[in-house]
Amino acid sequence: MALKTPLLRPLKSPSPSLYSALKCKHFYQKPTNSNSKNEFSSSVFNSSCRNPEALDRFLKERCRSGGGGIIIQDHKGHIMAASSQKLHAMFSPQIAEARTIRQGLQFAKESGLVPSFLESDVLSVIQLISSHLKGIIDLLGSAEFQGRRKKVVLKETRLGLSHKKDEDFGKWYSEEFLEKKIGEMGVDKCMFPLFVSKSVLNKEKNHIAGFEPEAFIPNTGRGIQGATSHCLGQNFSKKEFFDIKFHVEIEEDGKTKTDHVHVWQNSWAYSTRSIGVMVMVHGDEKGLVLPPKVTKWQVIVIPVPYRDANTQEIFDACAATIKTLRKAGIRAEVDKRDHYTPGWKYLYCEMKGVPLRIEIGPKDLANNQVRAVRRDNGVKMDLSVVSLVEQVKELLGKIQESLFDSAKQRRDACIQIVTTWDEFAEALGQKKLILAPWCDKEEVEKDVKERTKGDTGAAKTLCTPFDQPEMTEGTKCFASGKPAKKWTYWGRSY
């Protein structure tokens, strides 16, 4: 049976720095011989009882209903908040207390009361929570059970990133929940070597033709190849590899002959590496920033109910908004989770990189509008429901354009033109994307790699721009001094 969230009223404004404790007690109504519904008395049983579990069991057998109560105190014992809720007798006392504890933890989390100590008077309740630990982890992060039977210590949880992109790019990029969750499972990292013969590598290297775009990450000053496409010819379709053939009919001397020919193959490598580049280029300290054209959800709608507001009207407005946007081809979803506050959902939405967030509250209903918030720049605006689709489409287009323009500006700011080796070495140390005249000799590139070896890797050619800058007569290669043939981008790469 689903229970409504109890009404929790803070007795005073809590401070996140306070050391909070949760103590749970049971409130059960005793049946009387009177037929009057008003002649019920209350009793309170706490940890001072000699056998509280037996008392709980006895009361459940004799009572038709019960209740769960929570008292939250600071480190000095001052009461900070309290709540109670009526529970039907179909719940065992252990389950009733466990549910009450979970609701108390939710309140503590939303109030910023960390770390929290939870005290229970029954060992079976602690065991029950242990057996359903996932729900507690989902609520507050990792939990650590003390050796004492009556105490559970909950570690502080957080939402968001702790590393800054400009200060420690590597840790910022790798800061995801997956590695943490795998570690909690006790699974060790494994590396699987892939052995490829030199002859096979040379066959791939000697593809007939190819197109190799190079992305550039301004924060690290490195290039990364992505979205490549190659014409592999018949290198991998021959017998020594996959032996892929197709049937053909050939007209020869007026006769039709049949033959089997090895196929010609292409490769298009637009996959995980390109996604990684997108994350590195657009992401910020709050998390992902995803372009509207490629993200799963372009819009997330979040209901913002207040105590005295008509909650159902708000939920109905959210559902209607989603229906309208989807009908117009916009990928939209509503966050209907009722165990998280709107503020928590805002942070979660930002961390996931959703391009546009729509908030709907009582004031928005009264004004026939919604509040929209852009992920790329945080700008907030009110949109009329009458022209919502047109305005949302316009905003998504502006976000897409803004992300592209911003990325292009950061990349262009890193480009530096050099013509001598000294200029090249200085620009390389400044993590620049270097455009230099080159003689187009492979041995010269090998020499550049050798001369720039170091802990951060050697420099190499990244790509050659289609639009070649003008090259005056007599321009020399920056590395060899030989006549230059073209302008080429250089730098370190992943």
- The CATH number that applies at residue 317 is 3.40.50.800
Output the six-digit token pair for 364.
Answer: 């928005």
CA distance 183 to 75: 33
Q: How do residues 156-179 score in pLDDT, each as one tens digit? A: 345 667 677 777 777 776 665 455
pLDDT at residue 423 above 70?
yes
Of residues 271 and 60, more confidence is placed in 271
Confidence of residue 129 (pLDDT cuts 50, 70, 90): low
Q: At 360, is the secondary structure helix, strand, or coil?
A: strand
* Mean pLDDT on 102-130: 60
Q: At 167, is the secondary structure helix, strand, or coil?
A: coil
Residues 23 and 106 grouped into a single domain: yes
Q: At 249, is the secondary structure helix, strand, or coil?
A: strand
Q: Is residue 27 assigned to a domain? A: yes
Which of 154, 172, 191 is the endpoint of a domain? 154
Output the six-digit token pair for 260.
Answer: 């089997």
What DSSP assignment string belongs to 276-322? HHHHHHH-BTTB----TTT-S-SEEEEE---TTS-HHHHHHHHHHHH
Q: How do residues 365-386 score in pLDDT, each as one tens digit? A: 999 999 999 999 999 999 999 9
Determine the pLDDT at residue 81: 67
Residues 350 and 250 grouped into a single domain: no
- The CATH number that applies at residue 429 is 3.30.110.30
Residues 128 and 219 grouped into a single domain: no
CB atoms within 10 A of CB 436: 23
Residues 25 and 138 grouped into a single domain: yes
Q: Is residue 159 assigned to a domain? A: no
Output the six-digit token pair for 180.
Answer: 């943490």
Count up the domains in the chain and report the number.
Answer: 4
Determine the pLDDT at residue 288: 93
Please name the amino acid found at residue 77.
G
- The CATH number that applies at residue 140 is 3.30.420
Q: Is residue 347 assigned to a domain? A: yes
Predicted model pTM: 0.59
Determine the pLDDT at residue 35: 40
Residues 394 and 427 grouped into a single domain: no
Residue 95: burial class (beta carbons within 10 Å; 0-12, 13-18, 19+): middle
CA distance 287 to 316: 30
CA dihedral 52, 54, 55, 58 (to 10 degrees): 160
* Mean pLDDT on 86-112: 63
Residues 23 and 150 grouped into a single domain: yes
Query: Residue 222: what are its φ and ψ, rounded to 5°?
Result: -125, 150
Give the domain range for residue 268: 205-272
Closest CA to 406 of 271, 218, 255: 218
Residues 326 and 355 grouped into a single domain: yes
Beta strand pairing status for 433-438 and 415-417?
parallel
Confidence of residue 31 (pLDDT cuts 50, 70, 90): very low
Residues 384 and 454 grouped into a single domain: no
Place of tokens 């913002």: 304
Q: What percentage of residues in the chain have a pLDDT greater than 90?
A: 41
Residues 455 and 370 grouped into a single domain: no
Residues 225 and 125 grouped into a single domain: no
Determine the pLDDT at residue 230: 79
CA dihedral 199, 202, 204, 205 (to 10 degrees): 170
Q: At 390, is the secondary structure helix, strand, or coil?
A: helix
Query: Residue 214: what are its φ and ψ, rounded to 5°?
Result: -125, 120
Please name the amino acid found at residue 56.
D
Residues 263 and 305 grouped into a single domain: no
Q: Is residue 181 assigned to a domain? A: no
Output the six-digit token pair for 113.
Answer: 């009361």
Residue 301: burial class (beta carbons within 10 Å; 0-12, 13-18, 19+): buried
Judge whether 294 and 359 are in contact, CB under 8 Å: no
CB atoms within 10 A of CB 226: 20
Residues 427 and 391 grouped into a single domain: no
Q: Is residue 407 assigned to a domain? A: no
Determine the pLDDT at residue 111: 63
Closest CA to 229 of 276, 267, 200: 267
Lowest mean pLDDT among 213-217, 266-270, 303-307, 425-429: 266-270
CB atoms within 10 A of CB 423: 15
Q: Is residue 384 assigned to a domain? A: yes
What DSSP assignment string belongs to 401-451? HHHHHHHHHHHHHHEEE--SHHHHHHHHHTT-EEEEEE---HHHHHHHHHH
For residue 211, the cross-strand partners are 229
Closest CA to 152 of 195, 111, 204, 98: 98
Lowest mean pLDDT among 70-74, 111-115, 243-247, 365-369: 111-115
Q: At 377, is the secondary structure helix, strand, or coil?
A: coil
Closest CA to 103 of 451, 339, 274, 379: 339
Judge whether 324 and 436 are in contact, CB under 8 Å: no
Alpha helices in 143-251 (DSSP H): 169-174, 177-184, 198-205
Determine the pLDDT at residue 157: 40
Determine the pLDDT at residue 207: 55
Mean pLDDT of the chain: 74
Long-range (24+ apart) CB contacts under 8 A made by 38-43 are: none
Angle in degrees, CA 43, 47, 52, rounded to 5: 70
Determine the pLDDT at residue 489: 96
CA distance 462 to 459: 9
Place of tokens 């005290």: 119
